[in-house]
Structure 1
Amino acid sequence: MVLLLTILVSMFALPQHVFAVDYSIENTEINAYLQENGDVQVTEQHTYQFDDEFNGITRALIPKEQTQIIDFQASENNTALTVEQEENLYKIYRSGSDQKISIDLSYTITNGVEVYTDLAQFYWPFFDNSNESAYLNMDIYIHPPQSTGDALALGYDEAYETSTIAPDGVVHFAMGEVPSGRNGDIRVAYDASLFAASTMFDGTIREEMEADQIRLAEEAAAYENRKEMLSRISPYLISGVTIYLLLLFITVWRRKQSRLLEAERSISSLLSLPNSNMSLPATILYMRNMSPKSDLLVAALLDLVRKGYVKRDGDRTFVSVDSKQDYQHESILINWLFHKIGDHGVFSLSALDTYVQDKHNHSDYHSDYQKWVQAVKKELKKHALIDKQIGLRWMTAIVGLFLIPFSIILGVHSIFTPMVFSIMLSLIFILFAMIYQPKTVEGVRIKQQWEQLHSNYSNISEQEWNDWMSDQQMQAYIYAIGTGHKAMQKKSEHLSKSFTGPATTDTTSQTNDIVMLVLIASTMTQEFDKAGTIVSATTSSGNAGGGAGVGGGGGGSGAF
């Protein structure tokens, strides 16, 4: 649930784009003056409101094929500003802080007008979907070479149905607010005779433009029909999916309660070390929610000492004395520590330090560590402590994936409230499918037994602890080391110092072993932590636009 809430907050509460400068483009006016020779002289005025320090603004201008952008200039109140060009991106330098500024731009588009036998058209994208800044208000004016009453105008995407034609032929696209990441091509055509000095292409375009007008009108009507239908059905669909989700959670909760009750029946109320067929390292990894750390490695090594496969030789050296092990991961660990890092079955902390100081060994260290961890996980899989619930997870994943295109369709049709709920439901279903792997009854039983030991261990009396076999005492302490349970470690250290068991040779030796584990565990953890840090350090590891407008052109605005 924490993961889910974090993702949802990130999606809906945080900004989608984090800019280096806090600004908004409050007003943009573009005037395009078509010339008889087919060139287009453009003036733009952009009004920015800055709420932070800034160094200037940017303008991306991506020319269409067979056109060029030339003579780009910038000014403020008729004072020229410095311009730096990086391919299709122009950086206009004008520094300041927390103020409103209006910057004037001018440039020429060569061959911007395409002249055919019947009409001459200016078909241009002043921005495209690579634009990262919203225009809060945009007006575009297209001026013919001379006054004329014959003009055609089309707007695509954000420019659709925004044009008006004045009696003198000037076309005004009143586009209003234009969100970032949108296309909005404009297309204006005049009589070809107004461009007598331009090169003429064969063919006509009037029929094409009239066909586009009809097509756009039909698409708009179809869009409205789909929007109306989606508005009707979306509440029912989202309500149905929500009910299914609630039933799913209720079913999961009831199954969990049933497993808990069944596991509790087999748990003893007495304080004792849980019985398990698993190795101690596998138990520790399971209790750590499959998150291995260096203290798990220390616990595994000490468990080999407890089982007699490894003997201590002083405080910092261990010797492998038995080639027979119970588990594959024990064999892997002994081969790694005692024959690869160590030498001839002898492992020491100084050998570990020497090994990791050589960078050529880092890759092998990381690989061998992962191989050992995977072997421990392989043992866990054999005990079937986790119920994969494959069928249920696939079903919820399919529902979640189905909601993704449905959310996109709702967004395309500007049905935003149902879209938000659809996205949230989709995330919940997909996350559920990814992370839902409940414990089996046996898994719950083991978890509860060890958690019960956690809770009650601080209350264990010296007499009760003395009644345990020394092997059990060592297991409890090694478990506390591997899980990082500090309270259990301190309690074991206190109890081991006051041990009053039978004074036999064997018990004295085992008691000394427990005391020695207490003394060396902290040092070993620090050394393996240090080795892991050294190894992980080695083994870890302004947009000019996309030209998505007509003819590969486009652009956008920004600041820096």
Structure 2
Amino acid sequence: MKKWTIVLALVFSILLFIPTKVLAVDYTIEHTKIDAFLQENGDVQVKEQHTYQFDGDFNGITRTLIPKEHSLIENVQAFENNQSLKIKQEENLYKIYRGGSDETITIDLSYTIDNGMEIYTDLGQFYWPFFDSSNESTYENMDIYIHPPQSTDDVLAIGYDEAEGTVQSTKDGMVHFALGEVESEENGDIRVAYDATLFPSATVIEGKTIRDDITAEIEAYEKKMAAYENRQDFLRGFAPYVVGAFAVSLLILLITAWRKRRAILWEVARNSIQHSRLPNQEMSLPATILYMKSMAANGDLLSAALLDLVRKGLVERKNEREFVVVNHSTDYHHEELFIQWLFYKIGKDGRFSLDTLETYTKDKKNHQSYHDHFSKWYKAIKAEIKEHSLVDQKVTLRWTVALGSLLLIAFTILFGVHDLFMWMFFSILLSGFLFIFALIYQPRTLKGARIKYYWDQFSSHYHNMDTKQWNEWMTDEQMQAVIYAIGTNNKGMLKKNETLLHNIPTANDGFHSTSNNDIIFLMLIASTISSNFQEADNTVSAATGGSSVSGGGAGVGGGGGGSGAF
């Protein structure tokens, strides 16, 4: 007995913690038809027909019926093919039991709204919300029909919210509200009024009339619709000019930008020579690498920055994993920050090793400090790039285009509100293109284009360089080329480095032995340094959270309702 108690407790616990969505029934309410038959005594007999399509197992459907003040829902019954179904009531929620799986079913409901009408001296009105904002389901297609006690031509009808503009009066006084699709959590009250003489046995609210109020509301709605149609006609004629003007403007912007870019590239190519040799260094190597790759700082850039300090003689390698500062005469602010960070924050007394880096980043207390120093160093490199004015910000043009994009969004909303969906689509498309243009358009200056052109030329010719050409270079040029390949992670250049590595004279050859050994060292340990920096960055990024850088009755009079399934 104790064993079964434990098992049941475990099962109950598991069910308790299963997400609600897992247990939810998958269904669609394909069609809902509601017929309300107004009675002479002021009651309303309602018949509803709901067609559900279920995907998976189900136990039945639900219908929430919330009465208005001074009214009452009575005698709720459910049928399928004239066969009575079990109903369980929980306050205003009615559960209709009809289980199955993967079926389309049609359920008929009937009930009486006791005192559902309001009878005034001149008119009797049925003012009712068959659903309200507490409804959790979408009705794919809803039709509501109001039937008077007798045939009549004297009828006033109006709908609100989702029911607005859906009135289709027919002969004999029956009113059809063709709502179509009704989204969940929406209100939609219907209001129909007939001459009070049609309800002789109902209780009359003496001394008060409502015809003028309803007529005024209908007239106000008709005026609103007339104004809406006038605006729609105006916008339909105006839309081609608006969309056309913005389309032409975008085309002019793109053509102008393309022509200016071609002119700058032509000027750079005209004044350049084939760069098989290393371009003149106009910026530091880390800044050049970052500018050429337009990337976020990563292990390759960190590795290149460290090896560049070795090249410049500011840092000396002790072995494959350890480095020491030998000179503090830096040329750039980011070099100073880099040395302070690596050799005095992570390392100690001017000494840094990859083992120290691993130990430092494994301690969670150091993660924020790592992130902060990393960001300062990265921003300092970007500041150096900015000082050289390599891109034209085009601030005035970009702001103008951005404001134009916002103006077009305003037209997009107007087109959508007035059901001009084709023009709304074109407006959204153009607005998006304009916004993207304003966001990213920063053309290279002549200097920026020249630097990119020279380094691109160098990279493409580097692949075809033979050993003789390589050996004719100064050692510093060779080291810059190797570091550039490492920092940009240029696969072709890195592969070429491997080829050159086998042909570099070593100490045993007696030719540039020390310098050549330095180059060999750079090539051999580059991947190790990059992977260590990348692992450190990933560790910190994971810790810092990013890269280093039931219905209440919302209808009229408190009434309402909704539909669902279980």
Asked if these proteins are the same fold (TM beyond 0.5), I'd say yes
1:447 equivalent in structure 2: 452
Tell whether the 8 Å contact from 2:30 to 2:53 is kept in structure 1 after alignment: yes
How far the C-alpha of 1:355 sits from its partner, in A, is 1.7
Residues 105-504 of structure 1: pairs in structure 2 closer than 5 A: 119=123, 121-126=125-130, 135-142=139-146, 147=150, 149=152, 151-156=155-160, 158-159=162-163, 160-164=165-169, 167=172, 170-177=174-181, 184-190=188-194, 194=199, 204-500=209-505
Cα shift readout 1:532-555 (whole Å, capped 9, x = no counterpart): 2222222227xx799986678777
CA pair 204-423 structure 1, distance change in 2 beyond 3 A: same
Q: Give distance in 1, aligned partners of 2:92 and 2:280.
A: 71
Q: Give distance in 1, aligned partners of 2:564 and 2:168.
A: 26
CA pair 23-319 structure 1, distance change in 2 beyond 3 A: same
1:3 equivalent in structure 2: none
Code of the aligned partner of 2:34: I
User: Structure 1: which 5+ runs fail to align?
Assistant: 1-19
Residues 20-99 of structure 1: pairs in structure 2 closer than 5 A: 25-32=29-36, 44-49=48-53, 53=56, 78=83, 80=85, 96-97=101-102, 99=103
Q: Give distance in 2, aligned partners of 1:505 and 1:83.
A: 99
SS in 1 for 2:288: helix
Q: Give distance in 2, aligned partners of 1:554 and 1:114.
A: 17
Q: Give distance in 2, aligned partners of 1:91 and 1:285.
A: 67
Which one has the largest radius of gyration?
A: 2
Q: Give distance in 2, aligned partners of 1:234 and 1:485.
A: 50
Tell whether the 8 Å contact from 2:86 to 2:96 is kept in structure 1 after alignment: no
CA pair 327-209 structure 1, distance change in 2 beyond 3 A: same
Cα shift readout 1:258-284 (whole Å, capped 9, x = no counterpart): 110111133221411111321111111
Deviates more, 1:399-408 or 1:182-191: 182-191
CA pair 31-363 structure 1, distance change in 2 beyond 3 A: farther
How far the C-alpha of 1:92 sits from its partner, in A, is 8.8
1:9 equivalent in structure 2: none
Cα shift readout 1:203-248 (whole Å, capped 9, x = no counterpart): 6433221111101111111111111111112122222222222222
User: Structure 2: which 5+ runs fail to align?
Assistant: 1-23
Code of the aligned partner of 2:451: I
SS in 2 for 1:189: strand
Deviates more, 1:157-166 or 1:54-63: 54-63
TM-score scaled to structure 1, two decimals?
0.81
SS in 1 for 2:348: coil
- Give the alignment partner of residue 104 of structure 2, picking from 95, 100, 104: 100
Deviates more, 1:453-462 or 1:339-348: 339-348
Code of the aligned partner of 1:361: N
Cα shift readout 1:497-524 (whole Å, capped 9, x = no counterpart): 3124999999422221211122211112
Amino-acid identity (%): 51
CA pair 361-110 structure 1, distance change in 2 beyond 3 A: farther
Cα shift readout 1:319-365 (whole Å, capped 9, x = no counterpart): 12223321111122222222222222222112221122222222222
Q: Give distance in 1, aligned partners of 2:241 and 2:262.
A: 32
Cα shift readout 1:2-41 (whole Å, capped 9, x = no counterpart): xxxxxxxxxxxxxxxxxx9987543211244668998877
Code of the aligned partner of 1:431: I
Q: Give distance in 1, aligned partners of 2:309 and 2:220.
A: 78
Supply the RMSD in Å over aligned alpha carbons: 4.1
SS in 1 for 2:226: helix
How far the C-alpha of 1:442 sits from its partner, in A, is 0.9
Cα shift readout 1:79-116 (whole Å, capped 9, x = no counterpart): 7589899999999995633x433345678889875666
Count matched residues.
535
Deviates more, 1:351-360 or 1:427-436: 351-360
CA pair 503-130 structure 1, distance change in 2 beyond 3 A: farther
Q: Give distance in 1, aligned partners of 2:261 and 2:184.
A: 47
Deviates more, 1:387-396 or 1:150-159: 150-159
Q: Give distance in 1, aligned partners of 2:377 and 2:107.
A: 64
Tell whether the 8 Å contact from 1:125 to 1:186 is kept in structure 2 after alignment: yes
